[in-house]
Chain A
Amino acid sequence: MPEKNQTNLQKIEELIELMKLNDLVELEIVDGDSKIHLKRPQAQPPSVTALPLVAPAVSQAASVPAAESAEAKPATDETEEFVEIKSPIVGTFYSAPSPDSEPYIEVGSEVEPETVVGIIEAMKVMNEIKAQLTGMITQIVVANGQAVEYGQVLFRVRPH
């Protein structure tokens, strides 16, 4: 049924755009019996992340060749060779030391192991999160005020 294939293709194209816009590496949508699973290739080995499970099921993980998806393009330079900074605890992420300060870092910032990249508040204690590596921030994955769990990706860094 060509019409259905056309609609499916359109849907997939929209999903791919969504992925690129939000720099998602993998997307899976389960709807009753049907499932769409898209992955963008990247050079890095898989890293385990865990997210709160909310409907619909969306997961972030590492890559596999683009053969499965209808029109996924190979990863751009920005998504190759990156290391993730993950949350070591559970809490609320803040990007700046206080509501009216400048954020600790932004895309393009250079970081070193001791650089504070954000704060995670847990049980009223503000925990400074350090980069623990040397490199350049290529992506800020979490938003200010967002709840984060253990292992959740906060930033992507191109290591030096």
Chain B
Amino acid sequence: MFSKILIANRGEIALRIIRACHELGIEAAVVYSEADKDLPYLQLADEAICIGPASPTDSYLSIPRIISAAEITDVEAIHPGYGFLAENAHFAEICQECGITFIGPTVQAMQLLGDKVEARRLAQKARVPVVPGSDGSIDNESEALKLANQLGYPVIIKAAAGGGGRGMRVVHNDMSLRSALGAARAEAEAAFKNGTVYLEKFIVEPRHVEVQVFADKAGNALHFYERDCSIQRRHQKLIEESPCPILDEHTREELCKAALRLVKQAKYVNAGTIEFLLDKDKKFYFIEANTRIQVEHPVTEMVTGYDLIKLQLQVASGQTIGLRQRDIMHSGVAIECRINAEDPLRDFAPCPGRVDEFIVPGGPGVRVDTHINQGCNIPSSYDSMIGKLIVHQKTRAEAITTMKRALKEFRIGPIKTTIPVCLDILSHNLYIKNKVDTGFVERHF
């Protein structure tokens, strides 16, 4: 097991990793930017190193600064968290060259699965169903038009180097395809330094269902069941739950097995998530693989009872997972609400600033993962998520009741948050009756 690692991230995930480290007897060094210097979790770390000014480019996204911090703290490994450099294969490569273990998958797996076109190919090789679409990238307009008409509109243009909901455009006819193609390419070039795009049939009103997977260096691959993340706004998840409430046992088994086939095909190691779309006929299609631990990992932790971050540290240090698939069971229902510092009444505009009131809910079945407490300042330089509220109960109805109770107890001010929106969603008839899809939030809120 490692004796000391560096956490190359910030906020609630940095705190989450510190906690796992301390339970395993690992010393946790953490980096921070000047904007984060007063955050309380820095005091919990064994060492905190200032690596730069507020700007992410000069701090959390700066490979040289992070590697230097790893060198001066003399750590054996780096945990990249999620976002920032977590899926940056080049960063993983540099860690390797510097003799520092990257807590995550191999460089090759990240490169393979990070390219969405390659990931699709790999899935097809592994006999994992994919959304009908282009065989590789789309290189010209006539190719795009021909394929779109074959597949049938609507179709979606996606960036090969994109992901996380970025670099995607839905088009409904030849005319909009023509105009969107050039724009999508330009956006992809600007955002990901790679203008390659591909085409997929656009699945109407799908559910987003993803499988938590885990593999160790000995080749053991396991799944920790699925999460339903259909409650999204502009492709950013807002509410997640496990299990997927409309999945029958047979489809669940097929889904998880398919995810594991892809894991083995990619020779994947450590934690990952395989994302699928579920259409109205309960057919699932692979869309992308996330080669990192995810924001919503607590949902899986609650229903399975396993600490995924500790497992990441164990696997990265060379230990085997030490579990068999039949040891992993899911029990009850867990729901997570992301608490974002955004104003729902002003089109979810970010609300940085001081938090004068911060009263966290509690009671049976309630878990709160946050780095914020009263008096903290929310900087404007980073994303707006300030915490996660997770509940776990025996049934979905009870989980919804507890979540609503906990959301009402949660007092954050004077900044605005997404708490009211979450309450509205959880009270909505369609959500309660499991008749939602990824477009639900935008249609109704």
Give Cα A18–Cα B67 distance, bound, in whole angstroms: 34
Q: Mark A122-160, 1 if CB is under 8 A from B, else 0.
A: 110000000000000000000000011111100000000
Give Cα A122–Cα B72 distance, bound, in whole angstroms: 9
User: Count the B residues whose beta carbon is within 8 Å of the partner chain — how many?
Assistant: 23
Q: Does B132 contact A (CB under 8 A)?
A: no
Contact for B68 among A51, A57, A90, A152, CB less than 8 A: A90
Q: Does A45 contact B (CB under 8 A)?
A: no
Cβ-defined contact, B45 with A53, below 8 A:
yes
Q: Does A79 contact B (CB under 8 A)?
A: no
Cβ-defined contact, B67 with A123, below 8 A:
yes
Known: A52-B48, A122-B64. A149 touches B69 (CB 8 A): yes
Which applies to chain A's interface (DSSP): helix, strand, loop or mixed?
A: loop
* Chain B residues, Cβ within 8 Å of A48: 34, 37
Cβ-defined contact, B72 with A91, below 8 A:
yes
Q: Does B65 contact A (CB under 8 A)?
A: yes
Give Cα A52–Cα B34 distance, bound, in whole angstroms: 13
Cβ-defined contact, B65 with A150, below 8 A:
yes
> Measured between C-beta atoms, what is the minimum distance from A129 to chain B in Å?
14
* Chain A residues, Cβ within 8 Å of B73: 147
* Chain B residues, Cβ within 8 Å of A91: 68, 71-72
Q: Mark A16-56, 1 if CB is under 8 A from B, else 0.
A: 00000000000000000000000000000000101111100
Contact for B50 among A54, A92, A123, A150, CB less than 8 A: A150
Give Cα A122–Cα B148 distance, bound, in whole angstroms: 51
* Chain A residues, Cβ within 8 Å of B71: 91-92, 122-123
Q: Does B51 contact A (CB under 8 A)?
A: yes
Q: Does A12 contact B (CB under 8 A)?
A: no
Cβ-defined contact, A92 with B72, below 8 A:
yes
Q: Does B191 contact A (CB under 8 A)?
A: no
Q: Does B49 contact A (CB under 8 A)?
A: yes
Give Cα A54–Cα B48 distance, bound, in whole angstroms: 8
Cβ < 8 Å to B, chain A residues 111-125: 122-123
Which of the listed residues A53, A91, A150 has the most CB atoms from chain B within 10 Å of its own CB? Answer: A150
Cβ-defined contact, A151 with B34, below 8 A:
yes
Cβ-defined contact, B51 with A150, below 8 A:
yes
Q: Does B139 contact A (CB under 8 A)?
A: no
* Chain B residues, Cβ within 8 Å of A89: 64-65, 68
Which of the listed residues A53, A57, A92, A147 has the most CB atoms from chain B within 10 Å of its own CB? Answer: A53
In the complex formed, the residue of A with least CB distance to B65 is A90
Give Cα A149–Cα B32 distance, bound, in whole angstroms: 10
Q: Does B43 contact A (CB under 8 A)?
A: yes
* Chain B residues, Cβ within 8 Å of A51: 50
Cβ-defined contact, A53 with B98, below 8 A:
no
Give Cα A54–Cα B73 distance, bound, in whole angstroms: 12
Cβ-defined contact, A122 with B50, below 8 A:
no
* Chain A residues, Cβ within 8 Å of B37: 48, 50
Cβ-defined contact, A122 with B68, below 8 A:
yes
Cβ-defined contact, B45 with A150, below 8 A:
no
Cβ-defined contact, A90 with B72, below 8 A:
yes
* Chain B residues, Cβ within 8 Å of A149: 49-51, 69, 72
Cβ < 8 Å to A, chain B residues 47-75: 47-53, 59, 64-65, 67-69, 71-73
Q: What are 9 A-B interface contacts by the 8 Å CB criterion?
A: A51-B50, A52-B49, A53-B42, A57-B43, A91-B68, A150-B59, A150-B65, A151-B34, A151-B50
Residues of A in contact with B (beta carbons under 8 Å apart): 48, 50-54, 57, 89-92, 122-123, 147-152
Additional pairs, 9, CB under 8 Å, beyond known A90-B50, A149-B49: A48-B37, A50-B32, A52-B48, A53-B42, A89-B65, A91-B72, A92-B72, A123-B68, A149-B69
